[in-house]
Amino acid sequence: MSRIGPVFSQPEHKALIAYITVGYPSLEATLKAVPLLARSGCDIVELGIPFSDPLADGATIQKASFSALQNGVTPQLCLEVAKQLRQEVDIPLVFMTYLNPVFSYGLEEFCAACAKGGVDGLIIPDLLPDEGSELEAITQKRDLDLIYLLAPSSTGERIRLVAQRSRGFIYLVSVTGITGVRDRLPANLEAFVSRVRKVATQPLCVGFGISVPEQARQVAQVADGVIVGSRIIQLMEAENNLKSVGNFIKELRRALDEPNRI
């Protein structure tokens, strides 16, 4: 079992998952941010590997990815960063990337390097579950959780397939589209989570568009975890000392731990 499983074994605990792009706004910022996220209440950190064609990402993360690529961040460098971070934090680290960089690196080689560096799972938005059997076999051999995504538009067949094959948790995209800060949660979110819950036994974590504690609190009422990315990226690029990032994560943690708090 990877480190991800125990996160969801705590009674009544809602997982807080943070996303950052490796190398944005700098590698130094990444190395400082992840321990801060862990100290401030995050249960899992997603490390985004910059990619030139991030189809699932909105403007904020696209900008971060482009900047990191301009700064020379590569999958190999991301692996080295993850290995360094593993020496500093105990929480699960998950790579969020696209199939092309993993395929170019070599499926076996990439997964071996992930396992050696202390990475616990992979999220690959453009990998369809009916095309993932090869990578599934490799990740299972390396004790990595391959986490699939579902959107509100997912068919019943796709939901059943993901429920059979996703490991660690299932990533529920709150809206059909791309990542980014949004003013409000979709009205059909509860129905979407309920539809997946009827089929899946894995924990269900919701991302895309969550940017304030109240939204996190609302999501936690129906899901097992909350994923926040774009707002963290915005805060990271606004200042150098990351103080606002730590404060933001603490506010989210309180919202999840004290759902009735006014």
Distance between CA atoms of 253 and 240, rounded to whole angstroms? 22
Residues 6 or more apart whose CB falls under 8 angstroms from that of 255 comprise 213, 214, 216, 217, 220, 261
* Coil, strand or helix at 225: strand
Which of the residues 57, 120, 145, 224 is marked catalytic?
Answer: 57
Examine the residue annotation and report whether 46 is marked as an active-site residue of this protein. Answer: yes
Distance CA 104, CA 1 (A): 27
Burial (CB < 10 A; 0-12, 13-18, 19+), residue 112, is middle
> Catalytic residue among 28, 43, 46, 183, which?
46
Strands 149-150 and 145-147: unpaired
Rounded to whole angstroms, the Cα distance separating 141 from 150 reads 24
**Cα–Cα distance, 178 to 162 (Å, whole number):** 20
CA distance 3 to 21: 21
Mark whether 80 is an active-site residue: no
Other C-beta atoms closer than 10 Å to the C-beta of 95 total 25
Instruction: List the catalytic residues.
Output: 46, 57
